[in-house]
Structure 1
């Protein structure tokens, strides 16, 4: 009942206040209009004369005094109304609490609890000075960056990336590959990475090769252990020794990502294309295991180049490939350029190139400089049936100082001076 009466009083009081406000507005507006008119008259716009001007000024002062008195009365009345409204509001709050709030007394709060709450509040104050030891001990919850273009932003947040960096893995190379960064962040080191590393160690891969393998083939961390073991068992069934398998995996990181069927097809391809025995095929692949991982198209093209463009016979190609397997993956332009200089400039026949196939794998500039220097000295003689014969193998394999003293019979300074003249 008290609350209803209080609300009714507030409404009636608000109406009275509104009416008084409107009355004050009308009176002030009247005063302003009269003041403006008086000002006009005093300026002499319509009436002139000293007596009239004096009466006008007197009337204007009376109007202003009346206006000031009325304004003061209004402000005093408004302050009383606000105080009365505030008192009524407090009465309503008390009445509401008495009606709706439970009558049971609240539990007393002990002094100890109050002191604990104050201490807890003070502990997290941003204005309180703390010591250096306390500042260092503050732990900040780690949070993964929502997006980044570099894996280094996640190293401090990801245990897997931190352990891979400790192993020596090159994160810069990994982040250049599509989808590798998100894949690594999803891996758990203990359940995903560690078992694969233990597997590599068990098959004979050295610890120092782990970083090279993961840097070049991070997807080995997603292969199942059963598939990895099956591929290793297949290579061993083809009479590759355990040491050879470990060496092949270390130098060809993608090897264990290929299925058993694909590896078997590659072995059959090289044996059929080169018409080699199983032993020679294993020998080639053990020395250059990336032949099992790369594309077969460059290999087919190089075999055709050696046979059609360079003019080697089938048995000569077999001998060259067994001695230098890199010929199968060599750059076609480089291979033809080196052969052209050997055969057409140095006048070396096919059978001598077949006998020393390492010359096809040498740098073209190295071969050209040494031949021209020998030719300048009159010692460029590569026919084994003639005197002062110079072996092609020694021509390209010896270091500069040995080449000068043993083959060219000149000083190293002379050779360097000749190189500047080219």
Structure 2
């Protein structure tokens, strides 16, 4: 029996020396098998030596063990060498494909592959060429995943990839204006439409803002999309507590997009400032702010300066300033140069006294060239009469408010062509 085992081991040795590296796993399997057989044989030989006392059999068994250790060590060294290689190779035989894995992991049975099947698969892959024409239906069915550009100087490159930007465009938001403001573009890209934008839009709609005003509000104040709903509701509640109606609040927010970005303390200070500076009632203060809500958002310095101009430079009294501001709140935010220029035309050129300007304060909010052209045309015709105590009196209100055709027929008693011809003379 020992000689038969030795023959098996010699066969394993010859296999180890003759087969290529690609078939090492077969050899290692046989070596393991031989090792298992040797261990069984050793037990049998041990048993025979105990019961028979055959010393020759014991020596044969020891030589057999030495040979097994030698061949097992050789196989282990060869497997360790194979484990150090980084690249695993594949060897295709004519009838089967041997898939290699790490020598330290168990090797499973190879999967037989038919050559005809391989050729058919390669032919099917070759049928789809990048240069092959496809139908319109197939082209439409192709879906390309949207990829955000890593960097861009314009938000238009992100509109097709960002749900937030695409829906803001549908609402009428001017992205080209927002991208010119620092950090606004990156802020919008970080917003989620469902969790960040939609709740604010629903809030605005809930307080009465028209859908058509959403685009205007976000274009001028994109930061309203980052304000908490609690703060927005608190500021609306404050305005209502000051007896602003729901319609007034909705109109104010629509025309002054930054209104709800200011704290309650700031809004209260602004209302108190106008009431104290103008020395008017709370009702008149609400009336002024409701008609010109940007008074609560802008700087107070231009307002203070215009009040001083009206009092010191233009010579209006306190009660006259109150009447002018209540009638035309825009006087508080008008350009100082324009305000001085049109007053000089009315008072010094047209000889209109202060009390008439106070009675028709809208002339201070009219274009300077419009008033000058009409006055010169009336003066040319000899009809420039603005004193209420004299005949053929012309009201300042009608002078600046009537359209050109009506002005010519009713006030100047001339044709529109005459007026246009006169405009060309200067």
TM-score range, shorter chain: 0.7 to 0.9
Counterpart of 2:378 in 1: which secondary structure? Answer: helix
Q: Which moved more, 1:105-114 or 1:127-136?
A: 105-114
Residue 295 of structure 2 corresponds to residue 370 of structure 1: no
1:9-408 equivalent positions in 2, closer than 5 A: 94-99=19-24, 103=29, 105-109=109-113, 114=118, 118=122, 121-122=125-126, 125-408=129-412
Deviation at 1:359, TM superposition (A): 0.6
Higher helix share: 1
- Partner Cα separation in structure 1 for residue 362 and residue 374 of structure 2: 16
- Partner Cα separation in structure 1 for residue 310 and residue 188 of structure 2: 43
Q: Which runs of 5+ in 2 are unaligned?
A: 1-15, 30-107
- Partner Cα separation in structure 2 for residue 175 and residue 323 of structure 1: 38
Q: Which moved more, 1:109-118 or 1:328-337?
A: 109-118
Deviation at 1:96, TM superposition (A): 2.2
- Partner Cα separation in structure 1 for residue 115 and residue 290 of structure 2: 82
Encode CA deviations 1:165-205: one digit per residue, 9 max, x unaligned.
Answer: 11111111111111111111111111111111110000000
Q: 1:106 to 1:370 in 2, by over 3 A?
A: same
- Partner Cα separation in structure 1 for residue 123 and residue 250 of structure 2: 64
Deviation at 1:124, TM superposition (A): 5.9
Q: TM-score, normalised by structure 1?
A: 0.75
- Partner Cα separation in structure 2 for residue 166 and residue 212 of structure 1: 12
Encode CA deviations 1:70-120: one digit per residue, 9 max, x unaligned.
Answer: xxxxxxxxxxxxxxxxxxxxx999432344566565132468985895477
Q: TM-score, normalised by structure 2?
A: 0.74
Counterpart of 2:424 in 1: which secondary structure? Answer: helix
Deviation at 1:337, TM superposition (A): 0.2
Q: How many residues align?
A: 332
- Partner Cα separation in structure 2 for residue 93 and residue 391 of structure 1: 122
Counterpart of 2:324 in 1: which secondary structure? Answer: helix
Q: 1:276 to 1:120 in 2, by over 3 A?
A: farther
- Partner Cα separation in structure 1 for residue 327 and residue 145 of structure 2: 60
Deviation at 1:305, TM superposition (A): 0.4
The aligned residue for residue 418 of structure 1 is 422
Q: 1:127 to 1:265 in 2, by over 3 A?
A: same
